[in-house]
A = this chain, B = another copy of it.
């Protein structure tokens, strides 16, 4: 009988987290805990944080370990930061408690080669505690499944080109920082462009595609270029004005050459938008035949959170370990409460 709701801990209740909390609530999940380090959020009822119009008697707490000890969650959603080193603690905590975890941490989408040591350690830990860890979000559908779905109608792929742009103003400070928003060009060069340790989100996503297609990688090249604007631009996320000519964010172009022949060139632009600029997600598959897809003005915040919440049944059903989504079925829309997609 499918009567037991999915029990979820929301780890990170910022801009993404508050949307995720509402989606979870509306899709019939039982929210059993909420964690955040931000003093402005600690103690607040999640019903308030998520704007539900009802109190759920679950306050945001900063003592993560305690939240895990005092609840019996099925799933933890981690929406804190963008790198594996930043989310390691949260993943480890979930895994040690046998709680499946899914994150919007962009690197976690396919972290096998950018953070192999951490990922393998987490994989081992998750297997020992019989739970699954994964990364998802916007890229799962728009840089991943959308492309593999169109590829399913393609006879011969020679090259894949993608371009995705989003407004860093829609997200928290973590994302703005890794995009170099607000830096002078000299600072950008020093902190971002020459720091090749910083994996562009598209690198992880190109590798996700290669893994899904069964391609092996011959070479990868990542170019980080600052984006600028010709007038001053106020950023609410940064809480300051970016002078004209300073970095408003960056374009990262990742070129992935495979041993099988196909080349993937994808560009990801994240910056503080000027008046009138819009998000885009345009891809072309070149080969036989050529197919061009355009998503106009995608609502990245909502799409990110909906994908993560829709992935919960896949996460619970997946094999234990760090199990990236290219090995899961395509993310599905959930018409009914999440637990109706499980057989338990």
- Decide if A141 touches B150 in the complex (CB within 8 Å): yes
Bound Cα distance from A151 to B310, whole angstroms: 10
Residues of B within 8 A of A331 (CB): 149, 152-153
Contact of A294 among B146, B294, B298, B310 (CB under 8 A): B294
Q: Tell me the A306-329 residues at the B interface (CB within 8 Å).
A: 306-307, 309-310, 329
A292 within 8 A of B: yes
Residues of B within 8 A of A288 (CB): 302, 306
A85 within 8 A of B: no
A149-B155 CB under 8 A given contacts A289-B302, A335-B260: no
A148 within 8 A of B: yes
Q: Chain B: which residue is nearest A141 at the CB level?
A: B153
Q: Tell me the A16-71 residues at the B interface (CB within 8 Å).
A: 23, 26-27
A118 within 8 A of B: no
A303-B291 CB under 8 A given contacts A141-B152, A335-B260: yes
A231 within 8 A of B: no
Contact of A335 among B153, B214, B289, B292 (CB under 8 A): B214
A299 within 8 A of B: yes
Size band of the interface chain A makes with B? 35 or more
A11 within 8 A of B: no
A145 within 8 A of B: yes
**Nearest Cβ distance between residue A136 and chain B, in whole angstroms?**
10
A142 within 8 A of B: yes
Contact of A329 among B138, B142, B289, B330 (CB under 8 A): B330
Contact of A153 among B153, B290, B293, B307 (CB under 8 A): B307
The interface bits of chain A over 125-162 (1 if a CB of B lies within 8 angstroms of the residue's CB, else 0) are 00000000000001011100110111111111100000
Residues of B within 8 A of A141 (CB): 149-150, 152-153
Q: Chain B: which residue is nearest A340 at the CB level?
A: B214
- Decide if A335 touches B215 in the complex (CB within 8 Å): yes
A113 within 8 A of B: no
A145-B152 CB under 8 A given contacts A299-B289, A329-B330: yes
**Nearest Cβ distance between residue A220 and chain B, in whole angstroms?**
19
Bound Cα distance from A123 to B297, whole angstroms: 44
Contact of A330 among B145, B215, B306, B333 (CB under 8 A): B145
A295 within 8 A of B: yes
Contact of A290 among B149, B215, B299, B305 (CB under 8 A): B299
- Decide if B296 touches A333 in the complex (CB within 8 Å): no
Bound Cα distance from A62 to B161, whole angstroms: 44
**Nearest Cβ distance between residue A6 and chain B, in whole angstroms?**
16
Residues of B within 8 A of A297 (CB): 292
